[in-house]
Structure 1
Amino acid sequence: MTVVTHDPGQSRFTATVDGVPCVLDYQLQGDVMAIVHTGVPSQVGGRGIAAELTKFALDTARGKGWKVRPLCSYAEVYMRRHPEYDDLRA
C-alpha cells in the first residue's frame, strides 16, 4: 500500500515510492475537481501507483462533496473502469 498525501495549497496528491515522487494534479473550480495530470515516472511505473493516486483523489472528492471532471486520460479510463465513481462525474 502506497501512502498518498493531499496538498490542497498545491492542488496535488503525492505518493513517494522508492524516493521517486508521483503526482496527481487537479484544479478546483467551485465544487468541481478537474483532474488535469497523473504522473508516475517510468522507474516506478507498473505498480498501480497511478490507480492509488486516482482512487485517493476520488475518495477525497466524495468526502468533500465535490464532483469530478477527469480531463487527464488516465483518470478518465479509471473512472470508466470503476463505475462506483459514476455519481461523482461533473
Structure 2
Amino acid sequence: MTESGETTRVEHHTDRQRFEILVGDEVAGYAEYRPTAGERDFDHTVTLPQFRGRGLAAVLVREALDDTRSAGLRVVPSCSYVRHFVDTNPEYQDLVAGA
C-alpha cells in the first residue's frame, strides 16, 4: 500500500524481463532488466506520469532487488534511478556486481 492507502502489487514478468507495479489493476510503472550470467542489468525504470510522486518507484525497485537477491543473482544498476536507490539504501549495495 502507498501512503494514500492505494492497493499496490509488484509482478515479475520474466517473459518481458521486467517488474511491474500495479495500482489496483492498472500498470503504474516498470523496471526493465537484461539478464546476463548471474546478473540482472536494470537499465530502465519508468513511473507513468499520472502515478508519479507517490513513492511507487521505490516500492518497485525494492521488490525487484529483493527478488534478485532471492534468486541468487547480482545487480548491474545501469538505470540512474536504480543506481540512486542502491546508493541511498546500503542494505542493497552488496548486490551490485563487482562490489
TM-score normalised to structure 2 length = 0.86
- 8 A Cα contact 2:28 2:51, kept in partner: no
Unpaired runs of at least 5, structure 2: 2-7
Q: State which of 27, 40, 43 in structure 2 corresponds to 1:36.
A: 43
Unpaired runs of at least 5, structure 1: none
Moved more, 26-35 or 14-23: 14-23
Cα-Cα RMSD: 1.1
- 8 A Cα contact 2:20 2:27, kept in partner: no
| Aligned counterparts of 2:34 and 2:27: Cα–Cα separation in 1 | 23
Q: Report SS of the residue matched to 1:46.
A: coil
Q: Which has the higher helix share?
A: 1
Map 1:8-87 → 2, pairs under 5 A: 8-17=14-23, 19-87=26-94
- 8 A Cα contact 1:20 1:44, kept in partner: no
Identity across matched positions, percent: 38
Q: What is the aligned residue count? A: 90
| Aligned counterparts of 2:80 and 2:91: Cα–Cα separation in 1 | 18
